[in-house]
Structure 1
Amino acid sequence: MSRGFVREGDQEEPVVIPQRAVLPDNVINYVTVNGMRELREELERLENDFAGVSVEDEKERRREQTLALGKIKLLQERMNAARLIHLEDQPKDEIRFGATVSFKNLSLKTNQVLTITGVDEANVAMQKIAFTTPIVRAITGAKVGDVIHFKLGANRSILSIEAIDYGNLV
């Protein structure tokens, strides 16, 4: 049917599907065992949401189902591209994916702890930082006792690595 014969009130707004956390182009999607479990749980919730859509209005039901299917598709793509990293295989004396790192910021005179995770399980409030972030890239490969000069924009920090642990994300 020609668009000229459609009433304005009959036109549906396109469904906007929110994007997942950014994974840079050509970067492998590393995940921990815990991260993969969280992705599977999220997929199950989304599938239940899709199956449980019970809106009476046909247009609204279609919108909700389209949104759920779009989220499911994006999540499945992310999961299919995931490469699972087993923490027991990581070098215990070196900062790698999955490590919980304690360090002193000598510039700010503060102690900090962060856990290196995949982009989907990163949560700054829980001190889980994605492996793609500048600070993680700066400390990857360091060992206890190493001093790292870290620059982010105009800010410069000197970080002293205090401890490395792989037991927090099993």
Structure 2
Amino acid sequence: MTPAGLQKLRDELRNIKEVQRPQNVADIETALGHGDLRENAEYHAAKERQAELAARMAYLESHISLAQVIDPAEMNSNKVAFGATVTLMDADTEEEVVYCLVGEDETNVKAGKISITAPIARALLGKEAGDDATVRLPKGTRDFEIINVEYKAVD
């Protein structure tokens, strides 16, 4: 994962611990004050939220502790690999698209960040500017030409 991706996970974990979980505890206490727990929807919803927060915290803590951080800004290569920002030309539409290959937790297609495990990313790995890449997708195959490969800091 990139340094920005790791920081995003840390920020989310901090938010859960410092904001969401204390609010959830307060919600449970408020619901307990309403009496009979058997028919107390607020209590059951708050307890369910507590379980969701605990599961997300465990997930985040695990991923943070096991993270392998790679800073694309420190990479020097002309081949597509993790962290690369790749400019592609769609052979059919002649439309240019730019993708940054990031870890699964950092994926944001609207921002142009795709997972290194995505079909497009896998088809691009090891290729250079000027190479062609054929991507097999559920809707059929698409051909791309790699216009540019660069490594820079990821936001």
TM-score range, shorter chain: 0.7 to 0.9
Partner of 1:52: 23
Which structure: greater helix fraction?
Answer: 2
Do 2:103 and 2:115's aligned partners in 1 also have CA atoms closer than 8 Å?
A: yes
TM alignment of 1:43-122, pairs within 5 A:
43-48=13-18, 49-53=20-24, 54-55=26-27, 56-58=30-32, 59-60=43-44, 61-122=46-107
1:157 aligned residue (134, 138, 142)? 142
CA deviation vs aligned residue, 1:61-114 (integer Å, no higher than 9, x gap)? 433322211210111122222211121443431111111110101123211111
Structure 2 gaps, min length 5: 33-42
C-alpha root-mean-square deviation of aligned residues, in Å? 1.7
AA paired with 1:96?
A: A
Alignment TM-score, normalising by the size of structure 2 = 0.81
Aligned length: 140
AA paired with 1:64?
A: R
Counterpart secondary structure, 2:99: strand
Partner of 1:27: none
For residues 52 and 153 of structure 1, the distance between their equivalents in structure 2, rounded to whole angstroms, comes to 43
For residues 153 and 67 of structure 2, the distance between their equivalents in structure 1, rounded to whole angstroms, comes to 20
Partner of 1:36: 6
Do 2:72 and 2:153's aligned partners in 1 also have CA atoms closer than 8 Å?
A: no
State the identity %. 24
Alignment TM-score, normalising by the size of structure 1 = 0.75
AA paired with 1:106?
A: A
AA paired with 1:97?
A: F
Structure 1 gaps, min length 5: 1-30
Partner of 2:40: none
